[in-house]
Amino acid sequence: MSKIQHTELFEIAQPIQELFPLFSAEGEKKWVPGWSYENIMSSTELHEDYVFITKTHDHATTDAIWVVKKYEPENHCVQFYKVEPEDKVGIIEVVCTQITDTKTEVQVTYEYIGLSDKGNLFIKDFTSSKYKEIIAEWKSLLDTYFNQKR
């Protein structure tokens, strides 16, 4: 079994109440090109134990089952389990912190645990520099989304 964890921070010139809801299955449809998910719940409102499925998205090599592990909107924190059976398990956490009324810091942590040779190989290649590029793209996509909203 292999395991890896990376954390990155970035700032967005947006109020926290506008930004935090975008880190949900439904919210990501607004700013992540090609993001789609299969909603297997009776609503799109995020809550703990909310479950959805994605097809080969977000570092996935197979379909992934996502489960909201922790959802604390009052603390602007959400954590997901992402399970790719026979491949790997991901634990993804996003925490937003208000810096000013119009600026928010976003902390994103990805942890992966390998379940197979394939998952362990993914982990070996999931370097800190690759992760920095991925999170830089998040910032860029969010900036683009908010610029287009104006």
Q: Write out pLDDT tens, residues 76-135.
A: 999 999 999 989 999 999 999 999 999 999 999 999 999 999 999 999 999 999 999 999
Please enumerate in sequence order all residues whose Cβ is within 8 A of that of 59, keeping only pairs 6 or more positions apart, or say none: 90, 110, 112, 122, 126, 134
Per-residue pLDDT reduced to its tens digit, 41-54 = 989 999 999 999 99
Write down all domains in the chain, each with its CATH number in brackets: 3-149 (3.30.530.20)
Cα angle vertex 141, ends 9, 15, to 5°? 60
Contact 27, 52 (CB under 8 A): no
- Average pLDDT across the chain, whole number: 94
The pTM score is 0.94
Is the CB of residue 41 less than 8 Å from the CB of residue 61? no
Q: Which two tokens stand for residue 50?
A: 């909310």
Q: Which are the contacts of 38, defined by CB distance < 8 A and separation ≥ 6?
A: 52, 53, 54, 55
